[in-house]
């Protein structure tokens, strides 16, 4: 069992996309990388906390290796947009990959390096050790499962049928 924390705009869509994949065991949305302890959604939206909306992904590396996790992540984000994904704008919507295992850093950086030729603009995805993670309020957890037709900027259909659980 491994964990990564991914930021890619509104965390509802990131969570819903990854929940449908084979090998993903758990997800949880929250706020990370900021300077405020236990921030609220309203505080994070103010842009004053330094936090970004992130999704914690717990996955089985035997079924879904880190390289595949990153491939899926790059399917659903624009890695060249700074502080923006789809219509979501602000530092809380920046793109980032956060890890706890230092051995993952070179793997993540190498993946990004191999992706750069596919984009004209520079990739601006943060790659950092996880500084902190505070779970979001309960109503944000599994939001798109609880709210069919709820807002989502991510095309959940980007996961191929054979990749879904």
Angle at 131 between CA 82 and CA 25, to 5 degrees: 90
Can you tell me the mean pLDDT for 143-148? 92
Can you tell me the mean pLDDT for 3-22? 96
Can you give the pLDDT at residue 152?
Answer: 86
- 79-115 burial string, b = 16+ CB within 10 Å, else e? bebeebbbebeebbbbbbbbbeeeebeeebeebbeee
Please give the residue range of the domain that contains residue 111. Answer: 2-163
CATH classification at residue 127: 3.30.1060.10
Number of domains in the chain: 1
Confidence of residue 149 (pLDDT cuts 50, 70, 90): confident
Q: In this predicted model, what pLDDT tens digit does every residue of 27-85 receive, in sequence order?
A: 999 999 999 999 999 999 999 999 999 999 999 999 999 999 999 999 999 999 999 99
Q: In this predicted model, what pLDDT tens digit does every residue of 89-120 receive, in sequence order?
A: 999 999 999 999 999 999 999 999 999 999 99
Confidence of residue 151 (pLDDT cuts 50, 70, 90): confident
Q: Which of 90, 35, 99, 34 is nearest to 61 (CA)?
A: 99
Which pTM was predicted?
0.95
Catalytic residue among 10, 45, 55, 152: 10
Is 45 a catalytic site residue?
no
Can you give the pLDDT at residue 153?
Answer: 86
């Amino acid at each position: 069992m491994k964990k990564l924390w991914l930021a890619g705009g509104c965390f509802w869509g990131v969570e819903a996309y990854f929940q449908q994949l084979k090998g993903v065991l758990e997800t949880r949305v929250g706020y990370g990388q900021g300077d405020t302890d236990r921030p609220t959604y309203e505080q994070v939206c103010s842009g004053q906390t330094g936090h970004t909306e992130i999704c914690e992904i717990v996955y089985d590396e035997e079924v879904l290796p880190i390289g595949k996790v990153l491939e899926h992540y790059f399917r659903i984000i624009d890695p060249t947009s700074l502080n923006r994904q789809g219509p979501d704008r602000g530092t809380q919507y920046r793109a980032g990959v956060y890890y706890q295992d230092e051995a993952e850093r070179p793997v993540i950086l190498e993946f990004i390096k191999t992706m750069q030729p596919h984009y004209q603009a520079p990739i601006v995805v943060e790659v950092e050790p996880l500084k902190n993670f505070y779970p979001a309020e309960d109503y944000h957890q599994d939001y798109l499962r609880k709210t069919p037709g709820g807002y989502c900027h991510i095309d959940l259909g980007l996961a191929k049928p054979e990749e879904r659980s």
